[in-house]
């Protein structure tokens, strides 16, 4: 899995976790404390910000644009930066090469550590996804995490983290105090599944089917929801949409649910105390059969 993302790591640089969320919690328990400042994307993954917050860190919210996290002087006094460069959550923006270089320069020049959450590593639908940031990290400043949740099974609770051996050693000791280790039967089953080539076959089928669903979703959006603007990369695992100004997607989500159409209002991804824009939403397409996508979007268009 790691070489596919351009990462070559020794066994003592890898920790198996109970998923990316667990990796974030382990990291926060070890590294965060009152006075530590961590930069987080806004809009962004609320659970990460909450995990850092409950460990006492000061969470700095940094804007995102069409190239990913905005890198500027506001980040300078953060000790840690948390980013989702593969596809930014929730906008789906794939961080540009220029921004990646800028970000890596930033962490070198300001003695910072970057936490790269490559949550959809195994399941990136972009044709030629860029390697992980960790692949270009010659300074040992990038902590990489991912999991099998998106492409295989979120219920399995298996993830992995790559970092300096010294840090992994500390995290392993902490993991031992928390739950000793992820269940060995799951690890063994997965190791066999990988070694026998079933996982790659699964990924191939999964990719084909999900590219088909994505195509159907984008076709339906063009024909039945043309007032809404898809944003981010179409290779992302969900579609981030801007509805016309004045539409409250929380209300829309309620109304659509009455028609058995489930969408996610974007408001929950806007962190901080300011008033969140109300007109964004996120549509998933992985857990829905292909033939139900078009009728669902049609109903959403009617409700809108
Ligand atoms: C950006 C991001 N990171 C981490 C997670 C947690 O994933 P896992 O199931 O690997 O714990 C999620 C879940 O949706 C996510 O969106």
Three-class SS of 285-304: CCCCCHHHHHHHHHHHHHHC
Range ranked top by mean pLDDT from 66-70, 124-128, 207-211: 66-70
Percent of the chain with pLDDT over 90: 90
Percent of the chain with pLDDT over 70: 100
Residue nearest to atom 6 of ligand 1 (CA): 21
Query: Which position has the higher pLDDT, 149 or 74?
Result: 74
Q: Mean pLDDT across the stretch 46-61? A: 98
The confidence score (pLDDT) of residue 264 equals 97
Predicted confidence band of residue 263 (pLDDT cuts 50, 70, 90): very high
Torsion from C-alpha of 220, 222, 228, 231, nearest 10 degrees: 100
- Closest-lying ligand 1 atom to the alpha carbon of residue 18: 11
Please state, rounded to an integer, the average pLDDT across all residues of the chain.
Answer: 95
The confidence score (pLDDT) of residue 220 equals 97
- Closest-lying ligand 1 atom to the alpha carbon of residue 89: 1
Span from the CA of 159 to the centroid of ligand 1 (angstroms): 10
74 and 216 together in one domain = no
Q: Which of 142, 161, 195 is the endpoint of a domain?
A: 195
Task: Return the CA Rg of the chain.
Answer: 20
295 and 210 together in one domain = yes
- The CATH number that applies at residue 13 is 3.40.640.10
Q: Mean pLDDT across the stretch 89-99? A: 97
110: helix, coil or strand?
Answer: coil
The confidence score (pLDDT) of residue 291 equals 96
Which candidate, 58, 134, 124, places its Cα nearest to that of 88?
124
Q: Mean pLDDT across the stretch 69-96? A: 97
Q: Mean pLDDT across the stretch 190-194? A: 95
Residue nearest to atom 7 of ligand 1 (CA): 20
| Count: domains in the chain | 2
Q: Mean pLDDT across the stretch 161-186? A: 97
Q: Is 21 in the pocket of ligand 1 (CB under 6 A)?
A: yes
Read off the pLDDT of residues 108-151 as tens digits, 9 standing for 90 and up. Answer: 999 999 999 999 888 777 778 899 999 999 889 999 999 999 88
- Closest-lying ligand 1 atom to the alpha carbon of residue 45: 1
Torsion sign, CA atoms 218, 223, 224, 227: positive
175/233 Cα distance (integer angstroms):
35
Query: Which position has the higher pLDDT, 129 or 220?
Result: 220
The confidence score (pLDDT) of residue 126 equals 74
106 and 166 together in one domain = yes
- Closest-lying ligand 1 atom to the alpha carbon of residue 24: 4
Q: Which of 195, 227, 248 is the endpoint of a domain?
A: 195
- The CATH number that applies at residue 286 is 3.90.1150.10
150 and 244 together in one domain = no
Pocket test of ligand 1: the residue of 68, 85, 89 to mutate, having most ligand atoms within 8 Å of its CB, is 89
The confidence score (pLDDT) of residue 61 equals 98
265/182 Cα distance (integer angstroms):
33
152 and 247 together in one domain = no
Which candidate, 109, 112, 104, 64, places its Cα nearest to that of 88?
64
Span from the CA of 122 to the centroid of ligand 1 (angstroms): 13
The confidence score (pLDDT) of residue 234 equals 85
- Closest-lying ligand 1 atom to the alpha carbon of residue 22: 11
169 and 29 together in one domain = yes
Tokens representing residue 111 in the block: 């003695």
Predicted confidence band of residue 212 (pLDDT cuts 50, 70, 90): very high
Q: Are 187 and 16 in contact (CB under 8 A)?
A: yes
Q: Could you please report the per-residue DSSP string of 69-84? A: E--SGGGTT-SEEEE-
Span from the CA of 119 to the centroid of ligand 1 (angstroms): 6
The confidence score (pLDDT) of residue 10 equals 97
Give the residue numbers spanning the domain of 218: 200-303
208 and 107 together in one domain = no
112 and 151 together in one domain = yes
- Closest-lying ligand 1 atom to the alpha carbon of residue 146: 10
Q: Is 237 in the pocket of ligand 1 (CB under 6 A)?
A: no
185 and 227 together in one domain = no
Q: Is 19 in the pocket of ligand 1 (CB under 6 A)?
A: yes
175 and 205 together in one domain = no
| SS3 annotation, 170-232 | HHHHHHHHHHCCCCHHHHHHHHHHHHCCHHHHHHHHHHHHHHHHHHHHHHHHHHHCCCCEEEC
Q: Is 89 in the pocket of ligand 1 (CB under 6 A)?
A: yes
Sheet with strand 264-265: strands edge to edge: 229-231, 238-242, 280-284, 264-265
209 and 187 together in one domain = no
214 and 261 together in one domain = yes
Q: Is 56 in the pocket of ligand 1 (CB under 6 A)?
A: no
Q: Which of 169, 195, 221 is the endpoint of a domain?
A: 195
User: 14: which strand partners?
Assistant: 162
Read off the pLDDT of residues 288-297 as tens digits, 9 standing for 90 and up. Answer: 999 999 999 9
């Amino acid at each position: 899995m790691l070489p596919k993302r351009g990462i070559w790591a020794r066994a003592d640089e890898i920790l198996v976790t109970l998923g990316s969320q667990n990796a974030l919690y382990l990291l926060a328990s070890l590294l965060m404390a009152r006075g530590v400042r961590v930069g987080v994307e806004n809009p962004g993954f609320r659970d990460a910000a909450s995990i850092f917050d409950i460990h006492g860190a000061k969470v700095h919210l940094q804007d995102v644009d069409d190239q990913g996290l905005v890198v500027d002087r506001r980040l300078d006094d953060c000790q840690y930066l948390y980013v989702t460069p593969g596809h930014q959550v929730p906008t789906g923006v794939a961080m540009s090469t220029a921004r990646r270089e800028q970000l890596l320069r930033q962490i070198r020049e300001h003695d910072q550590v970057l936490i790269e959450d490559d949550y959809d590593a195994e399941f990136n639908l972009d044709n030629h996804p860029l390697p992980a940031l960790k692949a270009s990290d010659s300074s040992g400043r990038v902590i990489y995490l991912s999991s099998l949740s998106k492409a295989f099974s979120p219920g399995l609770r298996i993830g992995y983290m790559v970092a300096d051996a010294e840090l992994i050693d500390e995290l392993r000791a902490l993991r031992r105090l928390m739950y000793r280790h992820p269940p060995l039967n799951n690890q063994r089953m997965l190791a066999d599944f990988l070694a026998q080539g079933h996982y790659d076959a699964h990924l191939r089928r999964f990719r084909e089917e999900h590219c088909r669903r994505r195509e159907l979703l984008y076709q339906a959006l063009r024909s039945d929801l043309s007032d809404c603007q898809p944003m981010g990369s179409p290779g992302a695992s969900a579609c981030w949409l801007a509805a016309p100004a004045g539409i409250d997607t929380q209300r829309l989500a309620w109304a659509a649910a009455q028609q058995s159409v489930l969408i996610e209002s974007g408001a929950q991804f806007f962190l901080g105390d300011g008033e969140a824009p109300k007109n964004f939403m996120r549509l998933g397409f992985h857990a829905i059969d292909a033939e139900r996508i078009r009728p669902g979007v049609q109903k959403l268009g009617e409700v809108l």
